[in-house]
Amino acid sequence: MTASFNWQQFDQEHIWHPYTSIQHPTPTFPVISAQGVQLKLADEQILVDGMASWWAAIHGYNHPVLNEAVTTQLQNMSHVMFGGLTHEPAVNLAQKLIQLTAEPLEYVFFADSGSIAVEVAIKMAMQYWLAQGNTNKKRLLTIKKGYHGDTFATMAVCDPINGMHHMFEGLLPKHLFAEAPQCKTDADWHENDILSFKQLLKSHHKKIAAVILEPIVQGAGGMRIYSPEYLRQVKNLCEQYDVLLILDEIATGFGRTGTLFAYQHADIVPDILCLGKALTGGYMTLAATLTTKKVSQGIAADGSGVLMHGPTFMANPLACSVANASIELLLDSPWQERIAGIEQQLRIELASCENYSAVREVRVIGAIGVIELNRSVDIHWLQPRLVELGVWIRPFSNLLYIMPAYIMQPNELSQLTSAMRTVVEEMSKVRTMEIDNG
Ligand SMILES: *Cc1c(COP(=O)(O)O)cnc(C)c1O
């Protein structure tokens, strides 16, 4: 490449970024390095990172312990196939995951991304019933406003309105959608919150293989937080109607909501659990699907008993090694205090945002702070404005939210919340002016 090669321009002209158009690209900001909670842009500007690279970089960037785990493993082998071979990084990781999660979860499948972990969870549930000779149970029941991935099987259980159902009409399997839960974490429980779910299960349980949902926090489908009581009732109903329960903890796992796993808020246990995102501390793509003896033996019941999945890069040793190091780092840290501290600061510093006319609601749980706006943001204005304010926050739809690394210091967190306050104030002024002008 010549010195004059303009790589930013090449990026805009030739590369798809997540959910973007080649014809009408949104601006992208070139990062040259990342350290702790800071991103350094090509023009040397430093941004405080509020996204932890989509929930994943929980220890911050360029962490010496995680770097060491990757480079040490690199000396031995970066990858070998998992078909017929095994290695210590994968075995150690499986052992850790089994130990950390609820007791009945004792079998692990390593996937190469979150979407694939959900695909595998769905496949486990379908194979479970097929192996018992039950060919009726082929549908899934979920709740609206969910997000489970971008592959076809996972898209089919994403929110039917803001997901991609409309675009792929006719291509996606049709599943059942209960109303999204309304009861807040700390509010009084209303029995009718679960009514729609209960009715669907009651009417269709003979056709339903599994219920799938994100426990306590619905992430990319709307950044919603709901009552643990809802989850407890879902669990009871699944048992009552003989339907498996899949919990997708890809976003919430590893401390994000204040407990190590979000299902612990409700003190329940799923039949199948999906993990991803923060699993490797944001270093590499890796995910896992865990299940119970009941499900694994059920799958084996038809004699062949083979779980029909096996990605090329399954249980990549580099990814497993860094995941082992990340989990140890987390457990050796005062993570509960750190997350509780972030939660408390978010509650205090974001509360006043509810006074602005552009804001519909402020929601906080663990290390997650959400401002829901009255309407969708203008990303072409808002993104550069946030960068100008020295922060990396990536809003979508009508949601301005952060989920920082757990190591974030109070002064850095204040930079994020004050930038959020500044932009909602500016958006509220624009709206008022528009209203004034009729
Ligand atoms: C991000 C996410 C996924 C998909 O994970 P990818 O690694 O992007 O495929 C699935 N479920 C939930 C809850 C997620 O947040």
195: pLDDT strictly greater than 50: yes
Atom of ligand 1 at shortest range from CA of 287: 7
Catalytic residue flag (residue 202): no
Answer yes or no: is the C-beta of 229 below 6 A from any ligand 1 atom: no
Q: Please provide the average confidence, as pLDDT, over all residues in the chain.
A: 95
Catalytic residue flag (residue 230): no
pLDDT band at 438 (very low <50, low <70, confident <90, very high): very low
Give the range among 169-183, 209-223, 424-438 with minimum mean pLDDT.
424-438
User: How many whole angstroms from 433 Cα to the centroid of ligand 1?
Assistant: 39
Full strand arrangement of the beta sheet holding 399-402: 359-365, 368-373, 399-402
Answer yes or no: is the C-beta of 220 below 6 A from any ligand 1 atom: yes
User: How many whole angstroms from 156 Cα to the centroid of ligand 1?
Assistant: 14
In 239-316, beta strands by DSSP E: 244-248, 272-275, 287-292
Answer yes or no: is the C-beta of 275 below 6 A from any ligand 1 atom: no
What's phi and psi for 406, nearest 5 deg?
A: -70, -15
Answer yes or no: is the C-beta of 115 below 6 A from any ligand 1 atom: yes
DSSP codes of every residue in 410-430: HHHHHHHHHHHHHHHHHHHHH
Give the range among 68-77, 219-228, 300-309 with minimum mean pLDDT.
300-309
Q: Which one of the listed residues 61, 107, 147, 401 is annotated catalytic?
A: 147
Q: Which tokens go with 266?
A: 């409700």
DSSP 311: -
pLDDT digits (tens, 9 = 90+) for 334-347: 999 999 999 999 99
pLDDT band at 238 (very low <50, low <70, confident <90, very high): very high
423: pLDDT strictly greater than 50: yes
User: How many whole angstroms from 217 Cα to the centroid of ligand 1?
Assistant: 13
Cα end-to-end distance, the chain, whole Å: 54
Q: Which one of the listed residues 112, 159, 248, 271 is annotated catalytic?
A: 248
Answer yes or no: is the C-beta of 258 below 6 A from any ligand 1 atom: no
Atom of ligand 1 at shortest range from CA of 154: 10
Catalytic residue flag (residue 271): no
Answer yes or no: is the C-beta of 159 below 6 A from any ligand 1 atom: no
Average pLDDT, integer, range 400-428:
98
Average pLDDT, integer, range 164-190:
89
Domain 67-331 CATH (choose: 3.40.50.620, 3.30.930.10, 3.40.640.10, 1.10.10.10): 3.40.640.10
For residue 362, the SS3 value is strand
- CA 37, distance to chain mean position in Å, is 19
pLDDT digits (tens, 9 = 90+) for 100-154: 999 999 999 999 999 999 999 999 999 999 999 999 999 999 999 999 999 999 9
Question: Which class is 7-62+334-436 in CATH?
Answer: alpha beta
pTM above 0.75, yes or no: yes
pLDDT band at 292 (very low <50, low <70, confident <90, very high): very high
Answer yes or no: is the C-beta of 120 below 6 A from any ligand 1 atom: no
User: How many whole angstroms from 118 Cα to the centroid of ligand 1?
Assistant: 8
For residue 149, the SS3 value is coil
> If you take atom 15 of ligand 1, which residue's CA is the nearest one?
251
The domains of the chain are located at 7-62+334-436, 67-331
pLDDT band at 25 (very low <50, low <70, confident <90, very high): confident
Distances (CA, A) of 130 to 157, 290, 298: 20, 19, 9
296: pLDDT strictly greater than 60: yes
Atom of ligand 1 at shortest range from CA of 251: 15
Percentages (nearest 5) of helix, strand, coil residues in the chain:
40, 15, 40
437: pLDDT strictly greater than 70: no
CB 153 within 8 A of CB 122: yes
434: pLDDT strictly greater than 70: no
CA dist 378 and 414 (Å) reads 24
CB 176 within 8 A of CB 204: yes
pLDDT digits (tens, 9 = 90+) for 61-90: 999 999 999 999 999 999 999 999 999 999
Q: Which one of the listed residues 144, 230, 277, 406 is annotated catalytic?
A: 277
Q: Which tokens go with 315?
A: 């249980």
pLDDT band at 436 (very low <50, low <70, confident <90, very high): low
User: How many whole angstroms from 251 Cα to the centroid of ligand 1?
Assistant: 7
Average pLDDT, integer, range 281-296:
98
Answer yes or no: is the C-beta of 248 below 6 A from any ligand 1 atom: yes
Catalytic residue flag (residue 206): no
Answer yes or no: is the C-beta of 114 below 6 A from any ligand 1 atom: yes
Atom of ligand 1 at shortest range from CA of 116: 9
Distances (CA, A) of 75 to 79, 83, 90, 283, 367: 11, 22, 16, 17, 35
CB 278 within 8 A of CB 249: no
User: How many whole angstroms from 240 Cα to the centroid of ligand 1?
Assistant: 29
pLDDT confidence of residue 431? 59
User: How many whole angstroms from 430 Cα to the centroid of ligand 1?
Assistant: 34
Average pLDDT, integer, range 220-240:
97
**Quick one: what percent of the chain has pLDDT higher than 90?**
89
